[in-house]
Amino acid sequence: MSVSHTEPQSGESESALTGVELRMAADPTQLSIVRAVAADIAMRQDFDLDSIEDLKLAVDEACSTLISLATPGAVLSARFVVVEGSVQVFTEVSSQRSAPPDRDSFGWRVLSALVDSVTTWVAPRAEAFEVHIDLVKRSLGTVDA
């Protein structure tokens, strides 16, 4: 597993993007790490306990879905970005499947109920496809403009 971290550069405002990226084997045994990172980031953003739990469950569902689609030996990437009271999560994995996850499944409905927005898309790559699931969870104190 590898972890990278970015901080605002000198002179950037406090609302500048900060992020963490995890890259790990696309294996269910790695899910506890991703959940822990999601919870820690949400806590640091003063999310309430219910919102922290929602984000953890949503990240778990997104990553579980991608793991089920992953090619053998694939790497799962989960990038967390904090922007003005929200946590954005960008997950992706290499897959032989050219279609996005089933948006009519029970898991997708649960995922959609836990976050403020969720999108999925597929990008062609050399010998496979890259399946993405992107999430946004806002803290309760954040109001859309």
Blockwise average pLDDT, block size 10, the chain, 145 residues: 49 58 97 96 95 97 97 97 94 96 93 97 93 94 46
Residue type, 83: V
Strands 86-95 and 75-83: antiparallel
What is d(CA 35, CA 58) in angstroms, rounded to the nearest whole number? 9
Q: What is the pLDDT of residue 39?
A: 97
Length of the chain: 145
Cα–Cα dist 145/133, whole Å: 24
Nearest to 142 by CA among 112, 122, 115, 110: 115
Q: Tokens 């496809």 — which residue?
A: 129
Structure tokens at 38: 């999601």
Amino acid identity at 80: F
pLDDT for position 84: 86
Q: What is the pLDDT of residue 141?
A: 56
Contact 133, 65 (CB under 8 A): yes
Q: Tokens for 36?
A: 């822990």
CATH code at 20-138? 3.30.565.10
Distance CA 50, CA 108 (A): 19
